[in-house]
Amino acid sequence: MVDTAPSEPQERPRRSDATRAAILDAARDRFAADGYERATIRAIAKDADIDPSMVMRYYGNKAGLFAAASEIDLRLPDLAAVPRDRLGEQLIRHFLDRWEGDETLTGMVRVAVTNEAGAERLRDVFTEQIRPALAAICPAPEELDSRAALIGSQLVGMGLLRYILILPPAAALPREEVVAWLAPTLQRYLTAEHP
């Protein structure tokens, strides 16, 4: 126990914060690069330049470490502020940035595919971030789930082929070409009438 007040979890800076952060950083990298099984605690500890037992002390076990390391923020913009006819374009541009910016997204998918906790986390991201963001502009509320799923399918599909499987024809596609092709698709999934 560290808390001084029981009701307020007042977090005072600990001397070990740097170590904790180093572990978390290394864990994120390893999980993203190798997936859950092959990202071993020993490898993570080595990257962080500490002893494997520290990982256990601070995060309990491997599952706890993953839970702590897999907090994701898609940083979705406020779509209500985007011109209605450019929503698709904005969406695909934002996600290309997120896929390419760091290994957060690739890592999340890599883990989610073979690990139930990872899949759960990805489902959380959907309901807590994607759904609300789209709710602001979705025409009919009862269609929100369907439309969000459709949009997600196209976005994650291109990400998978381009950045994880690195399928040459997908990876070689120029960014602007991806935007030109996918933007109308997303725009339709988001704003078109139910077919």
Binding partner of 180, given DNA, a second copy, none, CB within 5-8 angstroms per partner class: a second copy
Cα three-residue angle 63-69-72, rounded to 5 degrees: 125
Task: Provide the mask over 19-48, with x wherever binding to a second copy is found by CB under 8 A and - wherever it is not.
Answer: ---------------xx-xx----------
123 binds, among a second copy, DNA, none (CB under 5 to 8 A by kind): a second copy
Token readout for 159 is 């990400």
Q: How far from chain centre, in Å, is Cα 11?
A: 26
Tokens representing residue 76 in the block: 């979705």
**CA–CA distance, 59 with 37 (Å, rounded to integer):** 17
Residue 45 neighbours by CB under 8 Å, 6+ apart = 23, 26, 51, 52, 54, 55
Q: Does 154 bind a second copy (CB under 8 A)?
A: yes
**Residue 97 structure tokens:** 């940035």
Per CB under 8 A, 195 contacts a second copy:
yes
Q: Per rule CB under 7 A, is residue 67 in the interface with DNA?
A: no
Tally of CB atoms within 10 A around 194: 8
DSSP-derived secondary structure letter, 161: I
Number of residues in contact with a second copy under rule CB under 8 A: 47
Partner whose footprint covers residue 177, from DNA, a second copy, none (CB < 5 to 8 Å by kind): a second copy
Binding site for a second copy (CB under 8 A): 34-35, 37-38, 109-110, 112-114, 119, 122-123, 126, 145-146, 148-150, 152-158, 160-162, 164-170, 172-173, 177, 180-182, 184-185, 188-189, 194-195
